[in-house]
Amino acid sequence: MVDPITIRATIGRREVTRGQVLEWESRRADIVLAKYARHLGARGIAEILPGPTVEQLRGAPLPLRRAALATLRTELGHAGVYAMLKRELAISERIARIGVAAGRGKVKYSIARLHAPGLSAERFATWFDNLVVVDDEDAMNAACPDHYLLRGLSDGRQEVVETTGGSPAASRFLVDYHRPDDVTIPADPAYPVQITGTALLDDGLIIGGVRHQFRDNDGGLDALLTVQFPGAVPQRHIHQHQWHLACEFGNWMLAAAPFAATTR
């Protein structure tokens, strides 16, 4: 699998290769496929995926596993995803509430940096914003195996059902991109293009936020990607979510390349 552009990623202070990010995605793809199999059982999986079994898909080329995950998400639909993850979502919501209380207002940041040659910061941000506006679930969900449901809501917010960081359980929350003031992630003036939103539960409890910052640099796109978590979240969770960011935004940049190229 050869990418049309070579994306560089920095996790913490360490530059990692695109190959290392794909290895992380590959491991997560196998873990998520196994979760579907565990919840749906052999008959349920066979009804949706009549071809190779989940066991046979383990270690298969990554595009095949991406396609299998996309089929599972699509055929289950929103209600099926909610039902499959019902217990996990209830547990993770309780943990989120405990984490906010235990953090006592303190926060931690999960940060990844990407550079994509040949892409425009403004055009990529427009493409990304449009995913929520037109509710392109396929493109939103496909970027990371840990995405179970990402969709734009009629009020402009985004619903997210995903596994964040190294958590064993998927979580559900909303991102309100019209509420940037609750996000404590500093804005870097060197990055003029900003996408900022508050993460919250259905009752309005703020559990975090995002500030994704972009600029044009050296003929390409620099991205400073940051997610805000409660201060009580374990450091391993913070570190693993850096890989999640590198995976999803790297794949989104590749998907956006035809629209976001500096010269079209």
For the ranges 3-12, 78-87, 102-111, the lowest mean pLDDT is seen at 3-12
pLDDT at 12: 83
pLDDT value at 237 more than 80: yes
Q: Does domain 87-260 fall into CATH 3.40.190.10?
A: no
Instruction: Please enumerate, as own/partner, the contacts of 13-16 that have beta carbons within 8 Å and a separation of 24 or more.
Output: 16/246
Residues carrying CATH 3.30.530.20, the chain: 87-260
Residues 208 and 155: their CA atoms lie apart, in Å, by: 19
- In angstroms, the first-to-last Cα distance of the chain is 24
pLDDT tens, 45-98? 999 998 888 989 988 999 999 999 999 999 999 999 999 999 999 999 999 999
Q: Sorting pLDDT into bands at 50, 70 and 90, what band is 103? A: confident
Burial class (CB in 10 A: 0-12, 13-18, 19+), 58: middle
14-16 and 158-162 strand pairing: unpaired
Q: List the structure tokens of 116.
A: 């994509």
Extract the runs of DSSP E, i.e. beta strands, from 168-255. 171-176, 193-200, 206-217, 220-230
CA atoms within 13 A on the CB side of 264: 10
